[in-house]
Amino acid sequence: MDIINYLTTIKFGAGALVALPGAMQELDIQRPLIVSDHGIASTGLLDRLKSALTMRAPTFLDVPTNPTESAVKQALSVYREGKCDGVIAFGGGSPIDLAKGVALLATHDGDLEQYAAILGGIPRITSAVAPLIAIPTTAGTGSEVGRAALITLEDKRKLGFISPHLIPKQAICDPELTLGLPPYLTAATGLDALSHCIETYLSPRYNPPAEAIAVDGFARIWKALPQAFADGNDLDARTELMMGALQGGLTFQKGLGAVHALSHALGGLKSLKLHHGTLNAILMPPVLRWNAEAATAKIERLEREAGLRSTTLADALDRLNANFGLPSTLSALGVSRDMFNWICERALADHSHQTNPRALTAADYGAILESAM
């Protein structure tokens, strides 16, 4: 038996931010904590959010690039000091994931670690999770409709916290919030969203509805991303990108694969601050080549959707990365071979490892890393 759920309310479209007061009323949130970051605040977007509210709300901005347990605890203190009763996450995947951690610990006792999926924490997360409204300002992570949060614990393990109760109660997806996003971030976040559609589609779990959504999201992103990169104010392209990213998040039900097992591990490196979308962009081509023999028909389907006739999807992604000016190797980001053993160990323990279409050992992960150097 396969259980398939799509269990949240999405308010989508240009200008959708005006729906925020109504969403708060529907969820009976009267004293929200806003979780965002300093980068968003510097753009003026946070002021637009606050102008849509009907009250002043405490705000937490010290969100790391890769959310940490320490930052979750700091935000939780602000939540409790403000006697808050809900959370508004505003930004990319980092603020949204951190906000999920706050919503969890606001209503669940004990250390964060006990709720990690890999440590048996899924059934410990209950419906008591504080209500969360997620408002993405990038078209990338899909976390606004995802059931997972990636958080690095104090001991530097980057673990997944997974539960249908962590899916935001409402998502407000307003593509106007992504207008003018710099080209590099447009590319890196867009390729992150593309990786979600690719990996969930290739996952061996049986979920035809999710596969249909993944393929449609892939096609939208593939077509719209170059245009959004070239013209950051093209609202039609931004709308298509945001829908594709949303669809990538809806397909998380199927699980991801080796790209994310590795990028989660790399994101946990203490010595480097690595952008998740950039990592996924670099890792997608070699992982696709590795998975080719186990997912031939599905990869060919994606190649047809992309209009590729004389090249492979992996090669086309390499060219796309080059056209966008993204780093072509992990070594360009500061990754060194003496990190491989640690990365491979973490990748094997990651929840995404289990749903790669082709089985991998530590040596296999090492070979993929070597090909990306």
Q: At residue 4, does pLDDT exceed 70?
A: no
For residue 6, the model assigns a pLDDT of 67
Condensed to tens digits (0 to 9), the pLDDT of residues 239-277 reads 999 999 999 999 998 999 999 999 999 988 878 888 889
Condensed to tens digits (0 to 9), the pLDDT of residues 160-180 reads 899 999 999 999 999 999 998
CB of 45 within 8 A of CB of 137?
yes
SS3 of residue 91 by DSSP: strand
Condensed to tens digits (0 to 9), the pLDDT of residues 138-151 reads 998 899 999 889 89
CB of 154 within 8 A of CB of 260?
no
CB atoms under 10 Å from CB of 34, counted, come to 24
The average pLDDT across 78-106 equals 96
Q: At residue 9, does pLDDT exceed 80?
A: yes
- pLDDT band of residue 1 (cuts 50, 70, 90) is very low
The domain defined by 9-177 folds into Rossmann fold (3.40.50)
For residue 144, the model assigns a pLDDT of 94
SS3 of residue 126 by DSSP: coil
For residue 277, the model assigns a pLDDT of 92
Instruction: Give the whole-angstrom CA distance, residue 270 versus residue 188.
Output: 21
CB of 259 within 8 A of CB of 284?
yes
Q: At residue 282, does pLDDT exceed 90?
A: yes
CB of 3 within 8 A of CB of 207?
no
Return the percentage of the chain with pLDDT > 70, whole number: 98
Name the class of domain 181-371: mainly alpha
Higher pLDDT, 37 or 2: 37
The average pLDDT across 79-96 equals 95
Q: Which of 3-17, 61-75, 327-341 has the lowest mean pLDDT?
A: 3-17
Instruction: Give the whole-angstrom CA distance, residue 38 versus residue 210.
Output: 35
Domain extent listing, the chain: 9-177, 181-371
Instruction: Give the whole-angstrom CA distance, residue 162 versus residue 124.
Output: 10
Instruction: Give the whole-angstrom CA distance, residue 282 versus residue 288.
Output: 11
- pLDDT band of residue 8 (cuts 50, 70, 90) is confident
Per DSSP, 86 falls in state E
Sole residue written with tokens 């409790």: 80
The first and second tokens of residue 288, run together, are: 């696709």
CA 115, distance to chain mean position in Å, is 19
The average pLDDT across 178-198 equals 94
By CB atoms closer than 10 A (0-12, 13-18, 19+), residue 296 is exposed
By CB atoms closer than 10 A (0-12, 13-18, 19+), residue 229 is buried
- Angle value at C-alpha 35, between 143 and 117, nearest 5 degrees: 45
Higher pLDDT, 235 or 270: 235
For residue 112, the model assigns a pLDDT of 93
Q: What's this model's pTM, rounded to 2 decimal places?
A: 0.91
Q: At residue 157, does pLDDT exceed 90?
A: no
Condensed to tens digits (0 to 9), the pLDDT of residues 224-234 reads 999 999 999 99
Question: What mean pLDDT is reported for the chain?
Answer: 93
Q: At residue 334, does pLDDT exceed 70?
A: yes
Q: At residue 5, does pLDDT exceed 60?
A: no
